[in-house]
């Protein structure tokens, strides 16, 4: 009897109903414009709307803001979050580490990244030296780090793919922005995300030395939402409610860009101008989409360099739910 009571207490403690789906839904989010769909979901109570339609009642949502793939992976494995918002690179590593017990629910979108430098002597990655330090959301793990490795392999050969890993330092995008724009900082380069890159490029001494689109092409999935097989199996309605809410949020952003930017500024207490943020959203460098595309371009490279042991197909990396409906 004591064991039964203890098991029930643990279920309640972690926000799981004994005979149903979660009553507290925990999601990780990161910094930047990529989190805009979550901001819209939260502002318009879209998840709660679809949860009630699905008969799930009043589900509480908890948002945990984290920086970098290592932190988000750890949060998912520890149970601190149910849904992970992450870059493709750290997700694929986790998929491999857990032998497929963590999979992606859907893409979160496609983003082109710029590697920028404040060093006037650095015009391309060939000019990087021991005097440079490259800020990344998660050194050696993040999607930006992987793109830099792919670019390096193209320039110096696959055996030298990690040539610049020792120059990399882990900094959140907001902290990296402060560092690269400070004359006293050792950080001379930043491979981050929007809107931080566009803000940095407004400084006359900062320039682009590498574009991700020149390395891996445009229009491929760079971020996604993932969860464990256990959570997916035990919460099928919650997963589908999540996808419906995301889909509506993306549709709304597409047709209400100015209002979406206003929500972002309010939510993030952003000091960037609405005009700059809107130009990023309209540039085509950031696209929100649930449909995955080109993910194996990254997983194949990780397999080739020995970072993962298994070489997955794109379908193997994702749960079925996103393929069952014509989401955006």
CB 246 within 8 A of CB 106: yes
Which residues 6+ apart lie within 8 Å of 7 measured at CB? Answer: none
Burial of 230 (0-12, 13-18, 19+ CB in 10 A): exposed
Q: What pLDDT, on a 0 to 100 scale, did the predictor assign at position 289? A: 94
For residue 112, what is the enclosing H or E element? none
DSSP class of residue 16 equals: B
> Which long-range CB contacts under 8 A does 157-166 form with residues at least 24 apart?
158/304, 158/305, 161/305, 162/305, 164/125, 164/128, 164/134, 165/139, 165/140
User: What's the pLDDT score for residue 12?
Assistant: 40
Q: Do domains 24-110+220-323 and 114-216 have the same CATH topology?
A: yes
Distant-in-sequence, close-in-space partners of 202: CB < 8 Å, separation ≥ 6 = 276
DSSP run (H or E) holding 268: helix 257-268
Q: Count other Cβ atoms within 10 Å, centred on residue 283.
A: 12
- Measured CA to CA, the distance from residue 107 to residue 292 in angstroms comes to 5
Cβ atoms within 10 Å, residue 217: 11
pTM for this prediction = 0.88
Alpha-carbon distance of 307 to 219, in angstroms, equals: 24
Question: Would you write out the chain's pLDDT as a tens digit for each of its 328 residues?
Answer: 444 443 434 444 444 443 468 999 999 888 889 999 999 999 999 999 999 999 998 889 999 888 777 888 899 999 999 999 989 999 999 999 999 999 999 999 999 999 999 999 999 999 999 999 999 998 999 999 999 999 999 999 999 999 999 999 999 999 999 999 998 899 999 999 999 999 999 999 999 999 999 999 988 999 999 999 999 999 999 999 999 999 999 999 999 999 999 999 999 988 899 999 999 999 988 999 999 999 999 999 999 999 999 999 999 999 998 998 888 7
CA distances from 145 to 4, 87, 113, 319 (A): 46, 10, 11, 26
CATH number, domain 114-216, options 3.40.190.10, 3.30.300.160, 3.10.20.80, 3.40.50.300: 3.40.190.10
Q: Residue ranges per domain, the chain?
A: 24-110+220-323, 114-216
The alpha-carbon radius of gyration of the chain (Å, integer) is: 20
Between the CA atoms of 88, 217, 195 and 89, what dihedral angle is there, to the nearest 10 degrees? Answer: 10
Which residue do the tokens 């799981």 mark? 16
What is the CATH code of the structural domain delimited by 24-110+220-323?
Answer: 3.40.190.10
Express each pLDDT in 155-212 by its tens digit: 999 999 999 999 999 999 999 999 999 988 999 999 999 999 999 999 999 999 999 9
Nearest to 295 by CA among 276, 266, 322, 269: 322
């Amino acid at each position: 009897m004591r064991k039964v009571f203890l098991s029930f207490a643990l279920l309640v403690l972690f926000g799981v109903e004994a005979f149903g789906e979660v009553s507290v839904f925990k999601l990780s989010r990161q910094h930047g414009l990529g989190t805009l769909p979550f901001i819209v979901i939260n502002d318009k109570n879209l998840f709660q709307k679809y949860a009630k339609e699905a008969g799930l009642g009043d589900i509480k949502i908890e948002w945990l803001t984290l920086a970098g793939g290592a932190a988000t992976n750890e949060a998912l494995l520890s149970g601190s979050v149910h849904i992970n918002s992450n870059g493709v690179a750290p997700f694929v590593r986790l998929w491999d580490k857990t032998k497929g017990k963590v999979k992606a629910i859907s893409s979160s979108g496609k983003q082109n990244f710029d590697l920028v430098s404040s060093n006037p002597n650095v015009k391309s990655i060939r000019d990087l030296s021991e005097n440079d330090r490259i800020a990344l959301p998660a050194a050696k793990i993040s999607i930006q780090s992987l793109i830099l490795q792919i670019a390096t392999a193209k320039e110096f050969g696959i055996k030298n793919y990690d040539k610049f890993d020792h120059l990399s330092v882990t900094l959140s995008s907001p902290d990296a922005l402060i560092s690269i724009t400070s004359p006293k900082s050792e950080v001379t380069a930043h491979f981050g995300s929007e809107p931080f890159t566009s803000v940095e490029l407004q400084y006359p001494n900062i320039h682009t030395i590498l574009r991700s689109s020149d390395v891996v092409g445009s229009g491929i999935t760079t971020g996604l939402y993932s969860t464990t097989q256990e959570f997916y199996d035990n919460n099928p309605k919650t997963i589908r409610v999540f996808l419906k809410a995301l889909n509506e949020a993306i549709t709304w952003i597409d047709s209400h860009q100015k209002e979406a930017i206003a929500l972002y500024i309010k939510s993030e207490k952003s000091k960037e101008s609405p005009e700059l943020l809107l130009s990023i959203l309209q540039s085509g460098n950031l696209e929100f989409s649930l449909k995955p595309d080109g993910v194996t371009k990254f997983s194949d490279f990780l397999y080739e360099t020995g970072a993962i042991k298994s070489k997955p197909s794109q379908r193997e990396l994702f749960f079925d739910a996103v393929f069952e409906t014509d989401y955006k």
